[in-house]
Homo-oligomer: A and B are copies of this chain.
């Protein structure tokens, strides 16, 4: 079977994790990230201060692997798969099956895997097709012999979408798509490439980069998530202002379903040819079939990529600035605004300052706080990525600097911008470090109209405080947030929530309840159910608040038409039922 450098259950690479390098200091192992190898003396004190609990290396919870239920193997199906695929591309290995039966929910998936949970149902067999014909043959075998198929991409889903329905009695076949990773053709004149859907973002950028091109789609999960997974969750990338979200990037795609292959035979930049099947692929979450390939927009690598950062006196100032940036028509590829807590978390990840760096940093602080009078407990910060021709990048920076003055912001320089942007890829490792101490931490996101940003953030803060108090959570809950995307009509707010589960009888259950309460509060205050994480299983019950009954029914009708026997029976979103749902906690 395909092996990779990833940890089978935790986030990310197996060689990368946080570990103590002193009683109060941590370091990131490996050499993959800017943070790697550096000693970080400020992180533990910051998190202790924020959560009101202490961390001692001796408190690390021991890891265990949950028992894996025996596979339910339909012998005629297995015989058919044996005819279709060589042994190295079929597996019933228990740990491999388990690794294909979860995503990256910190609470409900990763914590259950590592700290004594159990999975009632996991994939029974994992297969690895290498081309579309094999996918079609696997689907045909599943129909003939009665199996349940689950497409598997990068395994980075955070909505419970990969959890197997507990009442599924058929053999569950996980289709690991990562061997289907070829760039099939590139057309520079039209700026597009036909790519197999199992390619990861990192591999895609590497392949296109060798041709001087980029796709530009940059989700936080870029290293692991796949093109097919992006489509199935309706993913968003950090540089969407320049390259678009996944629905803007994909010109056309192919979906292999039980009722045949759905694709447009004549892809075009834009058409009016009646109702289209393609939009159904976005957010299909494995319910309809296997996305096998897509024609995607590609671009020449930008002549220049320049980072920038800004410090604001308040989050509100930063939001007003983001709005003005849109109006001004000077949108950089990426512009994100972190709130005070998230800014301070970033600061807490800095290495011990030595020599000139320490001196410079002290001087900067003196200038910001002493001379300009910024309040360290109120400021917020933007990280900016500008791409384009040198001329255009220079223009963007000029426009941003000019606007920044109007919002009393201080230009924080390119290095802070680069650092803030890159932290994105390292931050998930923090979650797994602190989960060893029973810290339940998770991110969740929403899209909010511009005029309700403050309201939604304040409501979320109030809710987590009151919920944690009511449930006897030790210390203080932590909630930070950032605006990760802006649109004409609103923004994406990305929250990070954490609290200590110590002393709670069922910390996962408490977390789940609080998360669901928060979700309702966000909906009640004008937020959407999700901006880019999806529905999966953990947000299914809110769908009737999103769509009218007739709207949900037409989605289900499409599912029934495409997959009348529910071969793709993973049961996500509108295609799941609360009866067959998997419990998360």
Contact = CB atoms under 8 A, between A and B. Distances in A.
Contacts of A262: 547-548, 550-551, 554
Contact of A297 (B263, B488, B547, B550): B488
Contact of A189 (B187, B270, B284, B449): B449
A357 interface: no
A529 B187 contact: no
A551 to B, nearest CB: 4
Contact of A272 (B263, B299, B533, B555): B533
Contact of A451 (B189, B265, B533): B189
A190 B490 contact: yes
Contact of A558 (B235, B268, B531, B554): B554
Given A553-B259, A554-B280, A560-B557, A546 B266 contact: yes
B189 A548 contact: no
Contact of A551 (B263, B272, B529, B547): B263
Interface string A298-332: 01100000000000000000000000000111000
Quick one: which of A192, A273, A451 has the most chain B CB within 10 A? A273
Contacts of A491: 269
B329 A550 contact: no
A569 B574 CA distance: 28
Interface in A272-304: 272-277, 279-280, 282-285, 287, 297, 299-300
A333 B245 CA distance: 22
A562 B552 CA distance: 11
Given A275-B284, A548-B261, A251 B329 contact: no
A412 interface: no
Contact of A277 (B190, B192, B555, B560): B555
A329 B275 CA distance: 31
Given A274-B555, A279-B276, A572-B274, A263 B447 contact: no
Number of copies: 2
A46 interface: no
A562 B550 contact: yes
A490 B251 CA distance: 11
Contact of A528 (B233, B268, B531, B558): B268
Interface stretch (A9-17, A388-396, A463-471): A388-396
A561 interface: yes
A354 to B, nearest CB: 41
Interface string A420-432: 0000000000000
Interface in A4-37: none
A57 interface: no
A314 to B, nearest CB: 18
Nearest to A281: B275
B273 A534 contact: yes
Given A234-B271, A257-B550, 11 more contacts: A187-B449, A191-B450, A192-B489, A263-B547, A264-B546, A270-B531, A273-B534, A276-B279, A279-B280, A297-B489, A554-B558
Interface of A: 187, 189-192, 233-236, 245, 251, 257, 259-266, 268-277, 279-280, 282-285, 287, 297, 299-300, 327-329, 388-389, 392, 395, 447-451, 485, 487-492, 523, 526-535, 539, 543, 545-551, 553-555, 557-558, 560-562, 572-574
